[in-house]
Structure formats: structure tokens, C-alpha cells
Amino acid sequence: MPIYRGQMFVKWVFENQHKFQAVRKCSSSLRYKEVEESATQTQPEHVAPPADATSPAPDTHPQITPEISFKYDDLQVTLAAPYQLQPKPDVSDLGFGKYFTDHMLRIHYHKDLGGWQKPEITPFENLNLHPAAKALHYAVQLFEGLKAYRGVDDKIRLFRPDLNMERMNLAAQRSGLPTFDGDELVKCMSRLIQIDQEWVPHSETSTLYIRPTLIGTEPTFGIMAPDSALLFIILSPVSTYYKTTDDGAVSIYADPNVVRAFPGGVGNRKVGSNYGPTIETTARAAKMGHHQVLWLFGPDHEITEVGAMNIFCVYINDAGDKQLSTPPLNGLILPGVTRRSILELASQWEDLTVKEEVLTMNRIIELNNKGRLLEMFGAGTAVLISPISRVGYLDHDIRIPTMKQSQPVFQRVKDTLLAIQYGHIDHPYATVIS
């Protein structure tokens, strides 16, 4: 009889051996249990509001519960050892996003451990990702782009980082990623830049590009909000982004058969899936001798964006006034920080009417034929202002007199923004961080 019981026990162990490992795992995670419990007692579950799929979403404010965010006060810093420091490239060789600084910021999110973990600054290194991470399969990710400028006074400034944080949280909500308190991330980011401050170019034609990124890391195939995520920031000293013609302008190609965004989609969110699928069309445009794609939408061929930039036109309106126009934020347009700043600044200039309005290709052609279209330009963080001198569209080769204006609006806008960014003038858009 005892032998029989022993055999039964061995059989039971054999069949249930997987449970022993679970017990071990469970006991090692007990120390996090307290955190989780206190987190659920004091912090309401953060639920992203349902996305309105039927109407072109207005750009709303993100729903943030700041008390469940990570905190700058918890930031832990591990500095790179001297042998890990990279040589700094020559400013003339920077290009865009080729070089990276010595440190990075990372903040893990684990729902099971109470949500956001402590922010860490560490030496720059590769990420270790499970091959099933949702970011790799379903584009559960988002990114941002802003810059740190070394001013004429040698102080380092950020340009309206709060707007990037707001946009980041809106994109996070749309993809089921965790939201956070943007002020806390700006403080962590500023510390990272202070640590790598010698990487902020000593030049007014170059900057330090800041790339905050949030990815869903949960390694499961379900298309649902990830239980784990990683927010990281990397920094890259950069100069120009786009190639141009000799006079600094770009030629753009408008193909009405492709769209970048559609109503109810995510054209108004900075998610990677808005950018990867533009590569083939851009390459086709390049083969035809153009630098960028002018993205059209709808039966009337509305102009929406150009390349990865917002688009602006300057023309003489029906009242005979000079007007600066850009398409409205109707869900198809990325709410660019540069776009918004241009609209706010230019609306204070008395010699210019400023308007957000739908502009179709027919209207562009009509204005151009009548000699009333003066300028077209793209605007974005990476490039700042990119004048446009030519548009290829169906069988039209439209020449835009942007570079022929004696006092172009694009140049005035550019000079004003640069003066703020590089500290030539004090302005509330710029925040000194170091």
C-alpha cells in the first residue's frame, strides 16, 4: 500500500510539475503585490476613452490622471563610463538622425507592478525586446520630435515641449498605451539633455533632435491595450532633413491616387504607421525629380500635408489682402507645434490675414494662373520651414513663385521662429533648461 501511494505521488508530481514553477514565480512577485494593492486603492484605473471612428476627430485634450504617472523625483541616473563615451561628429557631417548621444532615458510600464516604474537615465544601448512585442506586430507605438537649441547666450532651450507632451498622450490614448504627466517627462528629458549637453551643437544651423518614443512591449498576439510598455528618449545632433534645389526650395509631387490619412483615422496622431507607408510614394516622386509628396484627399483633391510637414500657402485673397492659409485640423492633419506657432505669431502681424481653410488643387491652380498665389511652404520640427517652388500634379507642372518674392512670408516666419529658438529674443515659447 505505501508503495502504491508513493507511485501516485510521483505520477502527480510528473503531471503537475509546471505548477511548481508558477509557485516560485508567484512568491518572487509577492514583494510587488503591496505596490499593486496600494496603487489600486489610491489610483483609479486609467481607461482610454473610446475613439470616435465615425467623424473626423477634433484635436481634443488628452485624459490624463497625473497621479498615476511616473515622477521626475524618482529619476535614477547611471552615467556612462569614460570608455562608453562616443566621439562627437563634425557639425558638417550631422545629417538627420545618424548619430546618437551617450545617454538615454527609459521608463517601463508594467500593469502588474502598479503601472509606471521609476524613470532611469542610462548609457545609450540597444533595446532588448521580445519578438512578440505588440509594437513590432500591430504598430502599438508612437513617437515625437522636438529639439534643444543652443542659444546665442550659450543657454539651451526647448520650444513648447508641453505641446509635444499633449500630442504624445493623445496618440497613446488612441493606441491603448499608458498616458502620463507631460510635465514630469519634460523634467526627465531636460535632465537627460543637461547630462548630454555637450552634444547640443554650438551652431545656429544645427540642433539636438529629441525623439521620445512609446512602444507596447507586451509579448502576446492579442490586439488589445498592452500590459507592458516602454517609454524611451534618445537624442541626436542634426542639421538639415530634406534635400532641396540650389535655391533652398523643394519640388513636390501630388498623386490623387494615394492618401496619407482619412477621416476618423490617425492622420492627426504622431504614430509610426503614418510614416512607413509613405515611403514607396515618396520614392516614386523622387524618380520623377521631386523631393516630397503633396498629400491630397477626397474627390476635390484637397491639399493636406507635404512630406512629413504641415503645408501653408500665401496668396492674394478675394478682398485683395495677402493671406496665409493652412488646412484646418479636421482629423487629416497633424497638429504640428510649428504649424500652431506660425498661426499664432502671424495672426499678430497686421499686414497679413491668417486663415485655416480647405484648399483644393483647382483653387491652387486658379490662384497661380491669376498670379495671386505667392508662396507655398512646408513647416515642421525637423525641417522648420521648407519653401516649395514646384508642384507636379496630373499633367500639370506648376511653378510657384515662392523664391521670387522680395519679402517672403516664409522667411519672416522662419526668422521669427529661429530668433525665439536660438534666444535672440525672449519669448514664452522658449524654455531655458540649462
The residue ranges that bind ligand COI (CB under 6 A) are 145, 275, 308, 380-382
**Chain-centre distance for alpha carbon 381:** 9
Shortest CB 308 distance to ligand COI, Å:
4
Shortest CB 187 distance to ligand COI, Å:
22
Shortest CB 270 distance to ligand COI, Å:
7
Sign of the torsion angle spanned by Cα atoms 178, 182, 184, 188: positive
248, 254 contact by CB (below 8 A):
no
Q: Residue 382: name the closest of 278, 238, 268 by CA.
A: 238
Q: Which is nearer to ligand COI, 95 or 219 (CB)?
A: 95
Q: Which is nearer to ligand COI, 190 or 381 (CB)?
A: 381
Q: In one letter, which amino acid is 383?
A: V
Shortest CB 273 distance to ligand COI, Å:
12
Shortest CB 97 distance to ligand COI, Å:
7
Sign of the torsion angle spanned by Cα atoms 72, 153, 206, 88: negative
Q: Which is nearer to ligand COI, 179 or 274 (CB)?
A: 274
Cell numbers of 412, please? 519672416
Shortest CB 384 distance to ligand COI, Å:
8
Q: Determine which helix (DSSP H) or strand (DSSP E) holds 234, and give its type and residue range.
A: strand 228-238
Q: In one letter, which amino acid is 270?
A: K
Q: Which is nearer to ligand COI, 217 or 381 (CB)?
A: 381
Cell numbers of 97, please? 538622425
- Beta-carbon contacts of 205 under 8 Å, excluding residues fewer than 6 positions away, are 91, 239, 240
Shortest CB 114 distance to ligand COI, Å:
33
Burial 60-69 (b: 16+ CB within 10 A, else e): eebebeeebb
Shortest CB 207 distance to ligand COI, Å:
11
Shortest CB 157 distance to ligand COI, Å:
17
Q: Which is nearer to ligand COI, 110 or 160 (CB)?
A: 160
> Cell numbers 524654455 correspond to what residue?
431
Helix/strand/coil for 13: helix
Q: Give backbone dihedrals phi and psi of 125, rounded to 5 degrees, phi first.
A: -155, 170
> Cell numbers 543652443 correspond to what residue?
150
Q: Which is nearer to ligand COI, 210 or 364 (CB)?
A: 210
N- to C-terminal Cα separation, the chain: 80
Q: Which is nearer to ligand COI, 110 or 147 (CB)?
A: 147
Helix/strand/coil for 400: coil
Cα separation, 138 vs 148, in Å, equals 31
Shortest CB 47 distance to ligand COI, Å:
29
Dihedral over alpha carbons 361, 364, 367, 372 (to 10 degrees)? 180
Q: Which is nearer to ligand COI, 301 or 414 (CB)?
A: 414
Helix/strand/coil for 380: strand
Cα–Cα distances in angstroms (integers) from residue 302 to residues 295, 312, 364, in the given order? 8, 13, 10
